[in-house]
Amino acid sequence: MSDAVLEVRGLTKRYGAVHALKGIDLTVRQGSIYGFIGPNGAGKTTTIRIVAGLVRATEGDVLLHGVDLRKDRLAAAKGLRTLVEVPAFYGNLSGQANLEIFARLAGADRADVARLLERVRLTHAKDRAVRGYSLGMRQRLGIAQALLGRPDLVVLDEPMNGLDPAGMHEMRELIREENREHGVTFFLSSHLLDDIQRLCDRIGVLHKGALVAEGRIEDLLSSAVTGFRLRCADPAAARAVLVASLPEAKARLDGDGTVHVAGDASILPRLHRALLDAGQPVVEMYPVRASLEAYFLDLTEGVMG
């Protein structure tokens, strides 16, 4: 049996002549934290809106636990919770009353409301009307509503928006804890690549409506080698050899006594040959991998989200 919580197959969305999504395929596995990144206008929120049932796909399927969302929404969306963009609440009602409304919708009990208010540190403000809440408090209340009733899959669109550094740290801890202790699967979209790298096991990179990369972060970054660090008996001599024979490698001496060369694995045969011919064999070699940010910028042509 498949352990996929969310499967998106050939998801396409057109708004007239605008092709917002161009046949996206992705899979989110049970118990994982999946990061969904892309520049503004890439189609992240459209994808999330389709998963949330707010927008209908032009083509393609969204399956939750193998059940087609369009064919059997009641069964498919049972364990699904979402937070799309800025959380909104009934401003004239208190934080607790709002959560009670969402708890009723989710079939959760009142104890869950109290637990989550405590967990997102809003117990002190639970009786205040939400219209008086700051953006950060609303965001925390939004996360709390998304966790009501022990969901299987929580889809969060920019969950760190409006949070201060301490709030962001807390939010990361909350997501990790719910994932680790309660097995909740998360699907997060975020502009904060550092958060994505720290939290997620897998990512999907969306650009101009197409999924341009998907997989485990380590695997994606391991394929994104930007250069190598070499340890040789005489680093200065080795550098001189490489500058003369492989100028495109832009060899330089680093402070730790290694020689840094730029390029991918295709330069390695020529590099080894040049150094061996010069009597400077490589003792140790480490690949230099791109950061997620560099990888993202490379994939999206330098368009930051």
Partner 1 sequence: MSALARVGRLVRVEAQKVLGGRGLLVGLVAVAGVTALTGWTHAPDSGYETAWTRTAAALGAGLWAAEIFLLVAGTTTIAGETAGGTLKMILPHAYRRSDWIVAKALVLAAQAVVLLATAVAVAATCGALSGGLGDVTRTTDELGLSMAPETLQAGGAMTGYLTQSALVSLAALVTTAWVGLWISCLFDAVVPAVSTGFLLFLGFKSAGTLFGAGPEVLESIYAWYPGAMLDRLEDLGKALNEAWREGMAPRGLRLSAIVAAVSLAGSLIVFTRRDLQS
Contact string 95-134 vs partner 1 (x = CB under 8 A): --x--xxx-xxx----------------------------
The label of the residue with tokens 């637990």 reads 115
Of 93, 212, 243, 282, the one binding partner 1 (CB under 8 A) is 93
How far is it, in rounded angstroms, from Cα 223 to Cα 234? Answer: 29
Report the distance separating Cα 220 and Cα 37, nearest Å. 14
Q: What is the dihedral of CA 272, 276, 282, 287, to 10 degrees?
A: -10
C-alpha 52: how far from its chain's center? Answer: 18
**67/225 with CB nearer partner 1:** 67
Nearer to partner 1, 90 or 286 (CB): 90
Give the contact letters, 209-248, x = binds to partner 1 (CB under 8 A), - = no.
----------------------------------------
Maximum C-alpha span of the chain:
79
In the complex, least distance from residue 50 CB atom to partner 1, rounded to whole angstroms? 9
Nearest approach, Cβ of residue 80 and partner 1 (Å): 6
Specify whether the CB–CB gap between 207 and 42 falls below 8 A.
Answer: yes
In the complex, least distance from residue 297 CB atom to partner 1, rounded to whole angstroms = 29
Spatial neighbors of 259 by CB under 8 A, at least 6 apart, are 229, 230, 231, 232, 235, 238, 239, 242, 251, 252, 253
Least spacing, CB of residue 95 vs partner 1, in Å = 12
Of residues 13 and 260, the one with the C-beta less far from partner 1: 13
Q: Is the CB of 153 or the CB of 274 nearer to partner 1? A: 153
Rounded Cα distance between 103 and 221, Å, is 40
Is 269 one of the binding residues for partner 1 (CB under 8 A)? Answer: no
d(CA 223, CA 218): 9
> Tokens in use for 269?
């045969």
B/e letters for 254-269, b = 16+ CB within 10 Å, e = fewer, are eeeebbbbebeeebee
Q: How far apart are CA 120 and CA 139, in angstroms?
A: 10
- Closer residue to partner 1 in complex, CB, 76/290: 76
Binding mask 46-85 for partner 1 (x = CB under 8 A): ---x--xxxxx----------------xxxxxx-xxxxxx
- CB 157 → partner 1: shortest distance, Å? 10
Q: Please pick, from the candidates 35, 39, 87, 263, the single residue that binds partner 1 as defined by CB under 8 A.
A: 87
**Interacting residues toward partner 1 by CB under 8 A:** 49, 52-56, 73-78, 80-93, 97, 100-102, 104-106, 142, 145
